[in-house]
Amino acid sequence: MMNAEKRQNFFNVLRRSNPNPKTELQYSTNFELLIAVILSAQATDISVNKATHKLYQVANTPKEVLKLGEQKLKQYIKTIGLFNTKAKNIIKTCQLLTAHYDGKIPKTRAELEALPGVGRKTANVVLNTAFQQPTMAVDTHIFRISNRTGLAPGKNVLEVEKALLARVPKEHLLNAHHWLILHGRYTCTAKNPKCSICVVKDFCDFKSKDINT
């Protein structure tokens, strides 16, 4: 397991290589972010951005999405996996946002997770990205990196989330979510991780055949 000194150096290097990490989902409001994150479950950010680019031109508020309706909404998101279920959840979420929050996005985990289609990971993304809370949304990339590197091993996503919150240096906690996702997406990939070009390889427990190529 990565010790405290290595963890500090690990995130120091990630910060130097990317001082202002951001989600690759495209959005301009908190509502747009929420919808994009709901759509991103079992889908790529690229596919979500293609869909929301067109959707947000015609409907980018809860009231506008409700006016659009479920069937028309499906036409905009039909290229995304599980679009039927996601369309139903988005409509129900928009109804709740309109009825109880004046169309605004709530700022607590409990309120977010009460919205249809919003689980713990989605809530963590919104809390971190929209409201600058030091949460940790553990996706497949973060789960893999946490276990592979020895950063914060865990048997399930909740174990890894708790371990990361306890082990990531406090000054890096706000941005750690984005750094780890991007690192897993482009460098510490599931197959054939690019260890030879990895900026944090000196602090990692994992060694790949690629590291000497």
Catalytic residues: 121, 139
Q: By the 8 A CB rule, do 66 and 94 touch? A: yes
Angle between helices 45-58 and 30-40 (to 10 degrees): 140
Half-sphere exposure of 36 (CA within 13 A, CB side): 28
Look up residue 35 and give its amino acid. I
| C-beta pairs of 93-100 under 8 Å, 24+ apart in sequence | 93/34, 93/38, 93/62, 93/117, 93/118, 94/62, 94/63, 94/65, 94/66, 95/62, 95/66, 97/31, 97/62, 98/62, 98/63, 98/66
Look up residue 100 and give its amino acid. H
- Range list of H helices, 133-213: 140-149, 157-167, 173-186
